[in-house]
Structure 1
Amino acid sequence: MLHFAQKHLRHAISAGAVALGALGLTLSTAQAVDIQRVVSPKGIEAWLVEDNTVPIIAVNFSFNGGAVQDPEGKEGLTRLLASTLDEGAGDLSSEKFQARMEDLAVGISFNTGKDYFYGSLRALTPARDEAFDLLRLAVNDPRFDEVAVDRMKAQLAVGIRRATRDPDTIASRNMLKAMLGEHPYATPTSGTEESLASLTRDDLLSQKNRIFSRETLRIGVVGDINAETLAPLLDMVFETLPGTGDINPVPAMDVQAGQRVDHAMPVPQTKLVFALPGLKRDDPDYQAAFVMNHILGGGTFTSWLYEEVREKRGLSYSTGTSLSPYDAGGLLLGSAATRADRAEETLAVILEQFERMATEGPTEAELESAKRFLTGSYPLRFDASGKIARQLVALQNAELGIDYFDRRNSEIEAVTLEDVRRVAKRLLAGKVPTVSTVGPASN
């Protein structure tokens, strides 16, 4: 535990140094994002936004194959892989690797989602070459020493045990299980204590070799570096990866709506989580659904749910909805927390707003207000180099095109009232969401 705390303190120090520089890189709607497609001598491609105003470089990258690629009985393997890649590499032990990052004010981190495995690098320009070399070691030659692996397994096990007492986590997991059954998306990315304990160094090596490949690699780079300098560094880090991986296809979601799962737990409030089938990101109706969701529950202080549930009735401090697109399907998710004796009333009000959106839809004024907010707030996604690098990777994974930054706001502005009403009927009309509750047992 002490080493874990030291590790994250070092990451915080490195991240803090990087953040000081990152604050200088901001973009506005009046400032076009010039994205360059960089292809290295060995064929490694990256999207680059060059900015020399501050001496900072941010790199984000991903591979297809997140936690859904965990083999049966080895749930949590990809999560453990993400936790151990920076725990020593090459001839550097865990302590030496962490100390080297601290000395250079470099941040290297890894994470996994359901569909993708992510990595990132943050470095000041003077430490550029050494930072990329540390990333090369972590990506290509992680040590997976037994002591370090066991330490991270113990830390992840603490999180697993904590999740069994967290109402939000319990409600979400019960909902996904009810909606998706045995689909991989319903499996927690952290696995179980039993599956985690069984994982070995060979499992980690095998999973890395399955997921890490040049075929599905997507890279975004932002900051004080030009294409000529970046290209050979891409080869240095990624050239020796396998050309192809060994990724299992993920079956399409078969979403079962209309389920109800109640979990009794002695907590102060009842947590409500609800969901309906949503849309994949490449669906032609996605932008219209995005605007519709903002009006329904996505707008923090302006949505129908905020107004009806919180402002008018004081049923919940926080309630809202969101679209969650995955590679194999999509969900329209929502949540609220309320007093146990008013949980059913809260749910009834939420469902009334769903029906109202499906049958009436918003007004023209509500639509225009939503579009103004969504287009006006878009530049906030680009107020730091790391955010922009993540967006570059997300665009590539969603296959939205290198010109999406320029197109996005015009796509939102083109959404009509008829579009919103059509997609509202498609997603909400006659649909009963799956509902999961966690709270005190009722009478």
Structure 2
Amino acid sequence: MVRYNPIILSLLTSTFAHEASEEHDHGLYRAGTLSESWSYIEVDLPTSLSDADESILMFGNKKRIVITGGCDSPLGNEYKESPEWGGYFECSSIVNKTYAFDPKRMATASMGSSSVPQEGVWGGEFEELADMPRARARHVNAVVDGKLCLFGGRDAFDGIVAEVDCYDPDTNIWSTPTTLPDDYLTSDAAAFTRDSTVYLIGGYDGYYTALDRVALIDMTDMDNVQYSWNPTLLDERGDIDVVFVNDKAYVAGGYTHANNYSTPFDSVEQMDMTTQQWSFVDNLNNGGGDQQYVGLNGKIYAIGGETKLNQQNSDTEVPHLGEISTILDVVEVYDPNAADNEWIVLEDMPQALFRFAAAEWETSDDEGVIFVFGGQVGFDPDCECFRTTNKVMVFEASNAYVKATAHSSGFMMGVGSFFALALGVMTLIGV
């Protein structure tokens, strides 16, 4: 990836500031507004929700997006003080709810008191399914042989949940086929399924120590679940997600205890399923924790997340703990099949967001979309909290990709002209 030093970057920024301001004036990228690629749907989640997880699950011959557990407190993560722990954040309400979302193309879009025809508008319906056997948040979902299984996460007392609960869409019944051994307990991890084996990756242990371990959970026989270990990640990381594309797994971002969670990773690890070994690929432009990674049409999308305010070499007063976190609205895409294999920055989200759920939705008549459910927004000093939201957004990913790559070509032509001008100026002044 092309990277510029700070001096050159500042020149580039000032040179193209006018063009950027014109785009903002058109309202395409202004925070809090909709754009050509992002929109809110008219249907909200049944409750404000964060720290949930989602999966695509088949109900007979019909697929739906299933959302499990999470934090349903409107205040999200609230600031607390403790003689033992100092300042920290926690959610006051963890749920055992399960919702199925059925996306639908809408024939019309509401415009005030009237409705007008508008192609490509998305809506949908939520259905509440059977309650999970226990409440949990910051867990992971994995679909195994048509059943949805939940691994790890935290309970209302911040303990790691050991039970593995599985949902059968044919019967609307939950069961608990196994319990994670102590060495396999984790939260804020990532998981994917290959055949009948779940790969449970990274996360934190009970004391929030970041993990590099990769557990293999063979659920071919749910009455006799088998546990083993796979080659470890190259870095210990929690608050992560994983995407499985073209028989390779990709894990990116996240935090580690090694730097006191002060700076998220921007590195991306890839596991080749043939060798089972991890290697680094191109870094993210914007590293973060609690981002969502979604695979759609062979591409990987990194959405939202959280980073930290850099307090090094700062003479200013240290801000409140909550104000150190910066919530991201950035979106990037990585195409493993592209010749350059670089992350490309796309159009921003309408709302900076983290701790949300996101799922791809492939359709037969177009390029598919990505749905974003709930999450937490930026720090609110009035409540000293990161509030949750019940909003659902839809991202026209292919539209954003085409737009970004077209703009990138024009931008690079502009960069070439700029450097030609800069070289002439430096020649005149004798640099």
More contact order relative to length (CA 8 Å, sep ≥ 6): 1
The two structures share one fold, judged by TM-score above 0.5: no
TM-score calculated relative to the size of structure 2: 0.26
Structure showing the higher strand proportion among its residues: 2
TM-score, normalised via structure 1 length:
0.26
